[in-house]
Chain A
């Protein structure tokens, strides 16, 4: 418990996939043999190298990254009531479309069987194989009946901007089933993570993720996804948060002069973002300074916007300080509980 008399909802926890072996029970004979013959031991994406301290805080390795260890940390140590599993695994990077579909289905099956069924406090995102739009819709229809799946999950940097109409069948299915679209930091590496070209260093890659989030927000708003699917919500996971006010300013200000290009956007983009988009609080880019954080929240103009997340087992917080320092105490309950419950309607039952 956090001592505040309420239990938080943790909106970003990463189930660790130890190796492709765990997926074998959910692969058919053909793909099982491919795993063996090709020696596919792992599909860890380089966005989160498995031995990087960012991927797993070093002391967390000892606590155990399996379901039981993660449950202990999230529910016993930090007192969460529910936690949403966002599995970042390389299935979205695979080029062979059939293989991507098969591995994604196996991954979602593994999450359902080995995590959700074993601890009902867990919820999860349906990982989507964006390599094939129809397969994404199939994936949603297949798993939506399991109410522990509360979101669909894509990467911030994929093949194409997510607002484009080719993706709309996915957003239609997500809206129909009350599933927000979680966009998590990461790349399918179809393009360089920066628009300038390929980078050399991991720190460049990670810092550039914010640009991917910005481009996705601009795409979703300008292409009219929220006009077409007014019930759709989008959650930016591990985005960094504090770049948002400046970005909203730019998008809204320039829209004023060029809105004729996108007349379906009939109100300021910032208003649309505030109505449809949410952000997880880890990491929170900025100093541990209450005045700074107050100002950011004031500039976002919404206290419904932020969702509590430990980002376990990533290294985003220190010690047991799961809330970034400086977040006003008056907002703790909203961020840790009310906002997540309002965003994820399926968590309510």
Chain B
């Protein structure tokens, strides 16, 4: 597992997102109300960029007309064909068993810790800041 610093936390505020490349992969990182999610950017359907999709809620209904809105901001819709993916599980809404997008571990680390580990990284880490880090 290799660590990659995506951004300073202050550069990826709630409601924002960032496309990040690591080890030849395009990875979309989202900040949803202070919680970070990282998924493979490529939609498993036809390859649309999920990072450019609309973040939405989950619409369900136990019976016709009984719309329920949950999971606000945690569902990404591919901009090409509208397929929905759950940022927490990577599973698609239309075919959750077999159609899913890869998730990556994402967390926040202090610059002081990172500065020791990532000496070779080009990303300029300041010890007084917090950083969004993904592991591949």
Contact = CB atoms under 8 A, between A and B. Distances in A.
Contact of A256 (B59, B61, B65, B83): B83
A257 B67 contact: no
Q: How large is the interface on A (under 10, 10 to 19, 20 to 34, 35 or more residues)?
A: 10 to 19
B64 A257 contact: no
A263 B67 contact: yes
Contact of B63 (A255, A257, A258, A264): A264
Is chain B's binding surface mostly helix, strand, loop or mixed? loop
A259 B93 contact: yes
A190 interface: no
A257 B61 contact: no
Given A255-B94, A256-B83, A257-B81, A263 B63 contact: no
Given A256-B94, A268-B94, A227 B82 contact: no
Given A256-B81, A257-B81, A257-B83, A264 B64 contact: yes
Interface in A220-244: 223-224, 227-228
A260 B59 contact: yes
Contact of B64 (A228, A258, A260): A228
Contacts of A228: 63-64
A190 to B, nearest CB: 24
A257 B80 CA distance: 9
Interface string A149-176: 0000000000000000100000000000
A189 B83 CA distance: 39
A260 B84 contact: yes
A266 interface: yes
Interface in B17-74: 45, 59-68
A257 B53 CA distance: 13
Among A223, A224, A228, A257, which residue has the most Cβ atoms of chain B within 10 A?
Answer: A257
B135 interface: no
B74 to A, nearest CB: 14
A223 B63 CA distance: 10
Interface residues of B, number: 18
Interface in A245-290: 255-260, 263-264, 266, 268
Nearest to B92: A256
B113 interface: no
Contacts of B83: 256-257
A264 B60 CA distance: 6
Contacts of B68: 263
Nearest to A224: B64
Contacts of B65: 224, 264
A228 B64 CA distance: 7
B81 A263 contact: no
Contacts of A223: 64
A217 B61 CA distance: 20
Contact of B61 (A165, A258, A264): A264
Contacts of A256: 45, 81-83, 94-95
Given A256-B83, A260-B84, A227 B94 contact: no
Contacts of A259: 84, 93-94
Contact of A227 (B63, B81, B84, B93): B63
B82 A258 contact: yes
A227 B64 contact: yes
Interface in B87-129: 93-95
Contacts of B63: 224, 227-228, 264
Contacts of A264: 61-66
Nearest to B80: A257
B64 to A, nearest CB: 3
A193 to B, nearest CB: 28
24 contacts: A165-B64, A223-B64, A224-B61, A227-B63, A228-B63, A228-B64, A255-B94, A256-B82, A256-B83, A256-B94, A256-B95, A258-B82, A259-B84, A259-B93, A260-B59, A263-B60, A263-B68, A264-B62, A264-B64, A264-B65, A264-B66, A266-B61, A268-B94, A268-B95
